[in-house]
Amino acid sequence: MKTALEVSVNGERRRLEVDNRMVLADMLRDVLGLTGTHVGCGTGSCGACTVMLNGRTVKSCSVLAADVDGDAITTIEGLARDAEHLHPVQESFVRNHGLQCGYCTPGMVMSALQLLKDNPDPDEAAIRHGIAGNLCRCTGYHFIVRAIREAAVSQRAQPAKADG
Amino acid sequence: MITQEFDFHAPRRLDEVLRLLADNGEGAKLLAGGMSLVPMMTLGLVQPRMVVSLNHVAGLAYVREDAGALVIGAGTTHAEVARDPLIARHCPLLADAARHIGDVQVRNRGTIGGSLAHADPAADYLPVMAVVGARMIVRGVKDRREIPADAFFTGLMQTAVGPQEMLVEIAVPKTQARGAYRRLHRIEGNFAIVNAAAMVEGAGGAARVAIGGVGHAPVVLDVSAQMRGGASNDALNAIAGRVYEATAGAPEDLNATAEYRRRMASVYARRALAAAAV
């Protein structure tokens, strides 16, 4: 059983027909080839699949693909047009070694963006709380927190650039 | 990917939703935030043959003021509950509980109506609804009923919402009483093991505490008599004893033994009351 939908993904309008059993993460990865969004637990606990849906972060493994008709989705691929022009949050992750295996990273970056939208000057506690929905097995979070802290500082210094 | 096939509907209007419920009853599962339902479908724990999304129905998310109550649309997300100015002013206890739910992503999508209809016994809203005396407004194609919180949670993850009905809004009495919410969890983002919501009116006034995670519905105690002289150690000790007795039916599971739940229920009821009484 399928559902037809129109959805905007990274600014591009797409018309799709999806199997009702598909979750949004599957649609992004398997139908649209946007494999930057990762599936970790698949059941809404790890946050690796975090994307923006209508400007707010959600876990895309816990949203039915059929349910996004008329919605606007931003994935990690929508943040930077290429590796030479990374989003400031991504640049900060690189500079601060905020990733090791990289599996949690796209979701972590999306959550960082959400946090900085809601709270442009988060202290460490606010950062840790803001990424509480994203699990990382490699880094121990220390450099992730540092990356986000630095991104917040540089975003406040250059507000025009850092819009998620 | 979910393995079982299902029909999917995304109506644009509430009357279409109610019509689908009238025609399909228990065969149709309502999908709000999906933060519980979709993972349960992925795990095969629930296999509805029809899913009716509420995410494209206008007018389900709102907070407005009536004479004596705040009226909150069932489709209001936890993030919206947490930051709504009317709720902050007239029932900050509710906003406090909402801030504890899940994580940022869950709060962006999950809804108060969905949480209450799902009725996980450890859900952060449950003791708040019980202690403030909220009313759940439920609608079917032909009827509209109000169900008080103390009659809403009828069994383990069961509510008084009928198979052809939908929870549409929640009425929360405005109050000048001070409230506090406390929860015990081992892991951030997980459901609480036990939680407690307390309300204390001014000196010598009414005091109530509700404890969740200890049964299918919150346990509610009127502790006005004990709290008459304030939140003294003697008062809180007496209340702790009452809580321990009142939670004899606490469940045992992987998270906690029954005994641990009962002892923690006493601790968290104390903490919530002490915080509310300040």
Chain B contact probe: residue of A58, A115, A117, A135 with most B CBs at under 10 A: A58
Selected for mutation to probe chain B from A1, A2, A16, A21 (highest B CB count within 10 Å) is A21
pLDDT beneath 70, residues of chain A: 159-164
**Contact yes or no for B3 and A21 at CB 8 A:** yes
Split at pLDDT 50, 70, 90, the class of B101 is very high
**Contact yes or no for B38 and A64 at CB 8 A:** yes
**Residue type present at position A162:** A
Can you give the pLDDT at residue A163?
Answer: 44
Mutate to test the interface with A, among B54, B105, B118 (most CBs of A within 10 A): B105
pTM for the model stands at 0.96
How much is the pLDDT for A162? 42
Give the three-state DSSP class for A46. Answer: coil
Residue A160: the pLDDT is 52
Report pLDDT digits (tens) over B252-262.
999 999 999 99
List strand residue ranges (DSSP E) for A1-131, in order. 2-9, 12-19, 50-53, 56-59, 72-74
Which residues are B28's β-sheet partners?
B50
Look at the block and give the residue holding tokens 């990374």. Answer: A86
- Contact (CB, 8 A) for A18 and A5: yes
Residues of A with CB under 8 A from a CB of B: 1, 3, 19-23, 26, 42-45, 47, 50, 53, 56-59, 61-64, 66-67, 69-70, 111, 114-115, 130, 132-133
CA dist list (Å): A8 to A27, A29, A55, A76, B9:
13, 15, 12, 14, 20
- The reported pLDDT for the residue numbered A139 is 96
How many cross-chain Cβ pairs, A to B, lie less than 8 Å apart? 98
Pairwise CA distance, residues B84 & A108, whole Å: 27
Residue B202 pLDDT: 82
Instruction: Map residue A28 onto helix, strand or coil.
Output: helix
Q: Which pLDDT value is given to residue A164? A: 44
Decide if B136 contacts B152 (C-beta within 8 A).
Answer: yes
pLDDT in tens, B164-192: 999 999 999 998 899 999 999 999 889 99
- Please tell me the predicted confidence (pLDDT) of residue A159: 64
- A57, A110 contact by CB (below 8 A): yes
Q: How far B202 CA sits from the closest chain A CA (Å)?
A: 33
Q: Are A104 and A135 in contact (CB under 8 A)?
A: yes
Please determine, for residue B247, whether its predicted confidence score (pLDDT) is greater than 50: yes
Q: Give me the mean pLDDT over the B139-146 stretch.
A: 97
Helix (H) or strand (E) holding B234: helix B233-246
CA–CA separation, A114 and B74 (whole Å)? 24
